[in-house]
Structures are given as C-alpha cells and as structure tokens.
Amino acid sequence: MDDLKHYQSPLSHRYPSADMSYIFSPHFKFLTWRKLWIALAVGQKKLGLSISERQITSMLDALEKIDLARAEEYEKKFRHDVMAHIHAFGDLCPEARGIIHLGATSCFVTDNTDLIQISEGLRIIRNKIIQVIRQLHPFAQEYASLACLSYTHFQPAQPTTVGKRACLWLQDLLIDLSDVERVLEDIRFLGVKGATGTQASFLALFEGDHSKVKKLEEFVAKEMGFSRPFSVTGQTYSRKQDIRILSALSSFAASVHKFATDLRLLAHLKEIEEPFAEKQVGSSAMPYKRNPMRSERICGLARFLMSLNENSLYTEATQWLERSLDDSANRRLYLPEAFLTADAILNLMCNVTSGIIVHPKVIQKHLYDELPFLATEQILMEAVKRGKDRQAAHERLRIHSFETSHRIKEEGGSNDLLERIVQDPEIGLSKDEVEELIDIKHFIGRAIEQAHEFLNEEVAPVIKKHKEIANFVADIKL
C-alpha cells in the first residue's frame, strides 16, 4: 500500500513491455557498468598491464550481486553515482578493488551503457514495427478492391479503396523501419576515451604505446557488441547521435499518430474500427459508446514522444567544449522515456492492427451517397458527346446539384440527383446510361493496381527479409 503514496510513472508500470522496461531498469544499467569494467580490465590484462586472473575472476563472481542500497549509501557520501558503484562493486571483489575503472572516466560506463540500452531498445522497436507491417499487409490485400469514399480536408473526395488507404499507412511504417535500421546500423560506441577524449590516461598506462590504446578500445567495443567506436570525442560521445535516434523515434510517432487519427475519424463515420472487447466499457455515462480508446492512447503517447525530440536538439546545442554536466539529468529522463513510449505505442499498434474491423455496407452507403455529385463531370462530358450544349448542360447540372444539396442539408432528404438528371431533357441521358457512368470503376483510377503493386514489390520483400524475427503478440492489459 505504501506504493500508493508515491508517484509512479505510467511508463514504468502501465504501458510498456517487460522487455523494454528491463533494458532501462537500474539492474540492467548497473549490471552493464560492471560488464564494462570487466571488459576494460580483461583488455588491459591482455595488453600487458599487471592485472591477475584472480582479480578478473573475482569481478566475474560478483557481477550479479548488485546491492542498490549499499550503492545509495556510498552516493550520499561521495555525491557521485559512478564512484558509489565502484566502491559497492569493490566491496564484493576486494582483490580487484584497485584496478576497477582503471584509466577511465565516468562517461566510460554512463555513455557506453546508454548506447547499449539504445541499441537493445532499437532492436525491440524494429521488431515490433515489422510485426505491425506483417499485420497490415494481409489487411491491405484483403481490402485492396473495396471501394470507399476518399476525404481531403475531411470532405468527400474522389474514391479510393480501403486497401489503398492502408498502403499509405504501410508506406510510412516502411520509412520508419528504414530509419530505425539505419540508425541501429550506424550507432558508434564511445569507447575508452578518458577525461577529455584524448585517451591520455590510457596512453600513460601503456607507457606511450599508441597501438595498445587503440587495441584496448577495439577490444572493449567488440566485447560490448559494437563494430566501431567514435574516432574523436570529448569526454562524451557527440550528442548529434542522440538527435538521429530521437529523430527516428519521433518520426515514427508522427506516422502512428496519423494512423490512429485516421482510425478515429473512420470510427466516427462507422466505417472502420479498432478491436472492441466483449466487456469493454466505452463511457461511464453513455452505455452505447464505442470510443476508440486504443487509438486515442496511441495519439496521446505519440504526441509526447514527438515532443521529446526537442530535448536532444537542445542537448547537442548546449555542449560546452569537451562537455558540460547539465545534459546528464535531462538525458536520464528523455532517453528512457522515448524508448518506453515508443514501445508502449507499438504494443498498442500490434494489438489494433491484429483485428481492425471493417463495415463494408456503411462504406458503400457513404460512397453512393456522394457518388452522384462526383459523377457530374463524367455526365457532363457524355452529354456533350451526344450533342448537347456544354454550357447549358453545365448550368442544369449545377442547379440540380445545389437543389439536391439543399434537400439533403436543409430538409434531411435523400440524394435524388441522379433522378433529376435522368428527367432533364437538356442533359438527355437515360437511367441506364447514367448508371453506367457512375460505375465505381470509372472513379478509383489505379487504386487497386497501386495497392497490389506496392504490397508485392515493396512490402512483401521487407517481410521476407525479416522472416526470422519471431511474431509478437501484444498483451494489452488496459
């Protein structure tokens, strides 16, 4: 019950997956610090420093024995988190106390751990984006031929198909996937750079042997899963790298915000809806409500994620020379929250796209309610082909359209535009001729072909490329 008296972030207990939460947990963070210290010591030993096998073994034996309470006591004393954990670790492996963190500065563990967390987090995000793509692909295929009314400015426009519209969502996600993969591939390790990035401390340890300093950095980077470190840094790695990472995440947030907004608009029209559980309550006051709550949550979280990108820009802009500490507290907030938010959004996206509900009869009704107005241009051209005066026919169609619009909007009547047109001798077309002109095939252009071409040529290869990535089933508890 005491937990109820303390603030708990929704990003730590309500929304994200256990996997992403663990990556940004204290346990993962401080375990990684210890792995870095061990990799550093192993590398230094291999390159000739006086470090014994017993010291390495004692560090490995103590690796998992993380006592946060002890570290917090040290931090109260030292006012320095890294020094606190060096002492807490040293207490568990006293033989190695003297060589832990040898030659390093705090950013050796903090920045390199950030990059390890970021890399792990990006892999989860990549895999879940792929899952959303997998789920939208068959949906777009199934409904590639289902004609629907388009909306520009959220006003009725030239028809498209439900599947073609889904391809617009997919195209954005393919761009996001490409961005995430590129960032993941290009992430560079801080490495072992020392207090100002010059590696002076390591050069001193190796008595001026530059090659050993380079070999040490290459060894530690490889041990921690990175192919290359930055060639030059200050005390920290360039925060430009954070901008690229946050930019990819915020761009993804914009895509899913657009998707979820589209779904909310379509739910209002009763054309397409997100899944709705049997016992789900839409409103505490209105029993009939079917609010698109998951889509609304996607939009809310996406808006927050987009806003975090600004922090990375400010952080890079305010780096002073070789470093300033004011980025530390800020990055402790926005880096984990960006990844936890992206993860929470993707859990929702995986859930929603696994069961989108389509109402074809409502879609057809809306389409045919507007189709007579959309068909007036084709009717005008056909009337002229049959010898009618273009200007006179245009005027008659304009009058009929305005009168029909008045009937619908002011009187609540049905759309009788086609009946008016058939009965007008100045237009001169029969009912059968008019019905042929309003056949939907005349209005959707290449929407069906575009959808199938895009799905086969661009989406299917991506799904095939990532076929080894396991399917993810989102467990949305709330």
The tens digit of pLDDT for each residue in 15-60 reads: 778 899 999 999 999 999 999 999 999 999 999 999 999 999 999 9
For residues 254 and 433, give the distance between their C-alpha atoms in angstroms, rounded to a whole number.
Answer: 46
Closest CA to 194 of 212, 211, 213: 213
pLDDT band at residue 263 under the 50/70/90 scheme: very high
Give me the domains of the chain, ranges plus CATH numbers: 376-437 (1.10.40.30)
At 168-198, the pLDDT tens digits run 999 999 999 999 999 999 999 999 999 999 9
pTM: 0.90
Terminal CA-CA length for the chain: 21
At 455-478, the pLDDT tens digits run 999 999 999 999 999 888 877 766
Helix (H, G, I), strand (E, B) or coil at 161: strand
pLDDT higher than 70, residue 419:
yes
Closest CA to 348 of 256, 469, 245: 256
Q: How many residues does the chain have?
A: 478
For residues 368 and 350, give the distance between their C-alpha atoms in angstroms, rounded to a whole number.
Answer: 33
Comparing 7 with 115, the larger pLDDT belongs to 115
Closest CA to 206 of 55, 102, 58: 102
Chain mean pLDDT for the chain:
91
Burial label, 11 (beta-carbon count in 10 A; 0-12, 13-18, 19+): buried
As annotated, the active-site residues are 153, 283
pLDDT band at residue 279 under the 50/70/90 scheme: low
Q: How much is the pLDDT for 388?
A: 86
φ, ψ for residue 159, nearest 5 deg: -65, 155
pLDDT higher than 60, residue 407:
yes
Closest CA to 166 of 121, 208, 136: 136
pLDDT higher than 70, residue 300:
yes
**∠ at Cα 472 (467, 476), nearest 5°?**
160
Q: How much is the pLDDT for 350?
A: 95
pLDDT band at residue 1 under the 50/70/90 scheme: very low
Contact 17, 347 (CB under 8 A): yes
Q: How much is the pLDDT for 416?
A: 86
At 111-152, the pLDDT tens digits run 999 999 999 999 999 999 999 999 999 999 999 999 999 999
pLDDT higher than 70, residue 2:
no
pLDDT higher than 70, residue 282:
no
Give pairs for 193-199: CB < 8 Å, separation 24+.
Answer: 193/105, 193/107, 193/108, 193/217, 193/230, 193/233, 193/235, 194/103, 194/104, 194/105, 194/235, 195/105, 195/235, 196/234, 196/235, 196/322, 197/232, 197/233, 197/234, 197/235, 197/322
Contact 127, 472 (CB under 8 A): yes
